[in-house]
Chain A
Amino acid sequence: MVDKAEADSDKVVQDVEVPNSLGLHARPAMQLVDLANRFTAEIEISKAGQRVDAKSIMQVMTLAATQGTKLTLTARGDDAAQAVSALAGLIAEGFGEE
């Protein structure tokens, strides 16, 4: 599911699709935010032009990302690459659901 991991200067970008049937609902959103907060990098998630902070539960919830939604992860900072790959992994494997 991991499409590409590109590094231009210190920015890391990766696309990922939400596979689980309930989408980015409460528990997955919490897992995602929890994981994002373990990195120092600034991490953004965007969905069709809407960009939110991956460390903010409020913003992640208001993405209202349902099954099949295409998301783009963008991170800047020291551990940007690790952050993006960890988050993309979590999303791609459906947050351990199903």
Chain B
Amino acid sequence: MTDSKEQASCLTKKGIPVSAGIAFAPAVVIDAEDYRIPRRHLSRSDIRPELNRLRKALTDSAAEVASLRESVTQKFGRQTAAIFDMHWLYLRDRKLYNEIAETIRDQLVTAEYATSIVLRQKALVLLESADQYMAERVTDIYDIERRILHNLIGEKREDISHLNSDVVVVAHDLTPSQTAHLDNTHVKGLATDAGGRTSHSAIVARALGIPAVVGLNDVTALVSGGDELIIDGTRGVVIIKPDEAATQQYRQYERELISLGQELQSLRDLPAVTSCGTKVQLFGNIEFPQEAQACLDYGAEGIGLYRTEFLHLGSETEPSEQDHYEAYCQALEVMGDRPLIIRTLDLGADKYTQARAAAPERNPFLGCRSIRFCLQPENLPLFRRQLRALLRASAHGDIRILLPLITTLTELHQTRMVLGEVIEELDEQDIDYRHDIPLGIMVETPAAALSARMFGSECSFFSIGTNDLIQYTLAVDRANEHVASLFTAAHPALIGMIKDVIKAGKRYDIPVALCGEMASEPEFCLLLLGLGLRIFSVTPQAIPTIKKVIRASTMTHAQRVARRAMTLHTDRQIMHYLRLETRKVFPDLV
């Protein structure tokens, strides 16, 4: 690529802002297989170097296979090594080279991309073969594809778990296991094609304080690894290869954000009370025990939601009871006597459960996920391990257990039975635990919300999970960019449900928290206060803002806002009204 082309474009893309802040860094582009397959278009002059890269990758791959064949022959004999003869022949096949080279020339695409299209097409031919044996040979094709790609990408292999310099990550979307490897020491920003405000990547980015913009549609096609990027996670803008003017402007903006942040920080030690004296509790949501400290730093009074999926998604091996126990104790050490609400495994609709399913689920969000997954007979050992670890850790602090995706009382009863068995075991072994450990449920399905009164008499607390509650109530997949705009907490149906759940909690005198994204958004703060919510569990970074809004509000105002909002009929009207009212107490609202 020539220098003039390098400097040419300063391209601005709009997306959905999901995690505030500004990042300046070179890009790393990854796809779902952890391989970066650049889809950018080449200019005519790029063809020759691209063909050279392809030839070299094929030669290197063949050499690798030859040496693999050598060592396998020595270890296991000729027969076992025969498969590598096949791979070697593929890699040395002139026709394969010709076809890929032709694709590069005709379509002006990178060698990685061309390799991928040509081999996927070959794979398809084999897969279509009626003969079972022939169809199985497709694995050879996949294998050599990975090998060639690996050689093409070489040291540029985009692996976000071993970074040694600052980058912004660009991806179609991140899988949960990829996000599990994100760390904020080097990952300074995130930009994805897919996703919405509450998609997994967005939640993790916010949890780690990484500026992020999602829903950019085609950002992976526009960015090549190494391109300088500015991510404006506050306003939802990504600037590709910024020019001097854009850089200057953003540096200035970054300074303004920092000073605003400092102001909010000064709120840390002030209580979350309305100006008329009503006390509110502000809790933090975390994914890793390491985040507990950040919660306290932002002024949290406890952890309202500790998601435990990362113990499973972040490692290749099944976590042991001890792994769970240590993670919980690590968080407890930081939290001291403050409440630590731990949600049991909320797996589902992800690589982990899909890999274990007998057949891929047609509709995983309505499938075997969360508590349903844990209560499957074959998964009970896994569930018991977690419950045992929770109980053991509860001897050291205020641990409370939160069950995800409850839809029927039976699930609550079954969980109590399993818990009872684990307790019996601990008693027999003389292991200490908290005898009155509270057991609460996530209210995140319409079923649970609509029958909150029924659940209220049987559990110790409610935590309203608006992300799933919205998804299931409005029938919208938040990660689908075509319908993501329909995903809103401002729908009258949602507000009505929240009101009823809070009322049911009052009736049975059990605490009701709201731990969805909604609680972190200042524009909903007055409404929620007015509906009677007294526990907000939010991403740690949002604590100062929410506290500021609460401290500026009065209950009379909040109740009026709630009453008025419930008379409005569309989410747009409601949103507009809430913003208007919020600006009266919090003029900084963007």
Which of A's residues lie within 8 Å of B, judged by CB? Answer: 22-23, 25-27, 29-30, 33-34, 53, 55-59, 61-62, 64, 66
Among candidates B89, B96, B129, B133, residue contacting A22 with C-beta atoms closer than 8 Å: B133
Most buried by A among B90, B95, B96: B95
Among candidates A23, A53, A55, A57, residue contacting B133 with C-beta atoms closer than 8 Å: A23
* Chain A residues whose C-beta falls within 8 Å of the C-beta of B83 in the assembled complex: 26
Across the interface, do A57 and B134 meet the contact criterion of CB distance under 8 Å? no
Across the interface, do B133 and A58 meet the contact criterion of CB distance under 8 Å? no
Across the interface, do A56 and B94 meet the contact criterion of CB distance under 8 Å? yes
Among candidates A23, A34, A53, residue contacting B131 with C-beta atoms closer than 8 Å: A23
- Taken together as a complex, chains A and B put the C-alpha atoms of A62 and B135 apart, in Å, by 10
Across the interface, do B125 and A30 meet the contact criterion of CB distance under 8 Å? no
Q: Is B122 an interface residue (CB 8 A)?
A: yes
Among candidates A23, A56, A57, A61, residue contacting B126 with C-beta atoms closer than 8 Å: A61
Across the interface, do A62 and B125 meet the contact criterion of CB distance under 8 Å? yes
Across the interface, do A58 and B131 meet the contact criterion of CB distance under 8 Å? no
With contacts A26-B83, A27-B82, A66-B134 known, is A58 near B129, CB below 8 A?
no
Among candidates A23, A57, A66, residue contacting B89 with C-beta atoms closer than 8 Å: A57
B572 CB, nearest partner CB in chain A, Å: 54
Across the interface, do A25 and B134 meet the contact criterion of CB distance under 8 Å? yes
* Chain A residues whose C-beta falls within 8 Å of the C-beta of B86 in the assembled complex: 26, 29-30, 57
* CB-based nearest A residue for B82: A27
* Chain B residues whose C-beta falls within 8 Å of the C-beta of A55 in the assembled complex: 94-95
- Taken together as a complex, chains A and B put the C-alpha atoms of A33 and B122 apart, in Å, by 17
Q: Is B137 an interface residue (CB 8 A)?
A: yes
Beyond the given pairs A29-B86, A61-B126, A64-B125, 4 more chain A to chain B contacts, judged by CB atoms under 8 angstroms and listed by A's residue number, are A23-B133, A34-B89, A58-B95, A64-B129
Across the interface, do B137 and A61 meet the contact criterion of CB distance under 8 Å? yes
Scan residues 135-158 of chain B and give those whose CB is less than 8 A from a CB of chain A: 137, 140
Across the interface, do A57 and B131 meet the contact criterion of CB distance under 8 Å? no
Number of cross-chain contacts by CB at 8 Å: 53
- Taken together as a complex, chains A and B put the C-alpha atoms of A61 and B126 apart, in Å, by 8
**Those 5 A-B pairs whose CB atoms lie nearest each other, nearest first:** A56-B95, A64-B129, A57-B89, A64-B134, A62-B125
Q: Is B85 an interface residue (CB 8 A)?
A: yes
* Chain A residues whose C-beta falls within 8 Å of the C-beta of B140 in the assembled complex: 26
- Taken together as a complex, chains A and B put the C-alpha atoms of A77 and B95 apart, in Å, by 19
With contacts A64-B125, A64-B126, A64-B129 known, is A58 near B134, CB below 8 A?
no
With contacts A25-B134, A26-B86, A30-B86 known, is A62 near B93, CB below 8 A?
no
* CB-based nearest B residue for A59: B95
* CB-based nearest B residue for A56: B95
Among candidates A26, A29, A53, A64, residue contacting B95 with C-beta atoms closer than 8 Å: A53
Q: Mark B95-132, 1 if CB is under 8 A from A, else 0.
A: 11000000000000000000000000010011001110
* Chain A residues whose C-beta falls within 8 Å of the C-beta of B134 in the assembled complex: 23, 25, 61, 64, 66
Q: Mark B55-84, 1 if CB is under 8 A from A, else 0.
A: 000000000000000000000000000110
* Chain A residues whose C-beta falls within 8 Å of the C-beta of B90 in the assembled complex: 57-58
B447 CB, nearest partner CB in chain A, Å: 50
* CB-based nearest A residue for B135: A64
* Chain A residues whose C-beta falls within 8 Å of the C-beta of B96 in the assembled complex: 56, 58
- Taken together as a complex, chains A and B put the C-alpha atoms of A9 and B470 apart, in Å, by 76
Among candidates B85, B94, B122, B133, residue contacting A62 with C-beta atoms closer than 8 Å: B122
* CB-based nearest B residue for A29: B86
* CB-based nearest A residue for B134: A64
- Taken together as a complex, chains A and B put the C-alpha atoms of A26 and B122 apart, in Å, by 15
With contacts A25-B137, A27-B82 known, is A64 near B93, CB below 8 A?
no
B98 CB, nearest partner CB in chain A, Å: 9
- Taken together as a complex, chains A and B put the C-alpha atoms of A66 and B133 apart, in Å, by 9
- Taken together as a complex, chains A and B put the C-alpha atoms of A58 and B261 apart, in Å, by 60
B284 CB, nearest partner CB in chain A, Å: 55
With contacts A26-B137, A61-B126 known, is A66 near B85, CB below 8 A?
no
B571 CB, nearest partner CB in chain A, Å: 53
Across the interface, do A58 and B137 meet the contact criterion of CB distance under 8 Å? no
27 contacts between A and B (CB under 8 A): A23-B134, A25-B133, A26-B82, A26-B83, A26-B137, A27-B82, A29-B86, A30-B86, A30-B89, A53-B95, A55-B95, A56-B96, A57-B89, A58-B93, A59-B93, A61-B122, A61-B126, A61-B134, A62-B122, A62-B126, A64-B125, A64-B126, A64-B129, A64-B134, A66-B129, A66-B131, A66-B134
* CB-based nearest A residue for B131: A66
* Chain B residues whose C-beta falls within 8 Å of the C-beta of A57 in the assembled complex: 86, 89-90, 93
- Taken together as a complex, chains A and B put the C-alpha atoms of A58 and B89 apart, in Å, by 8
With contacts A25-B137, A27-B82, A30-B85 known, is A56 near B93, CB below 8 A?
yes
B132 CB, nearest partner CB in chain A, Å: 10
B456 CB, nearest partner CB in chain A, Å: 63
* CB-based nearest B residue for A24: B134
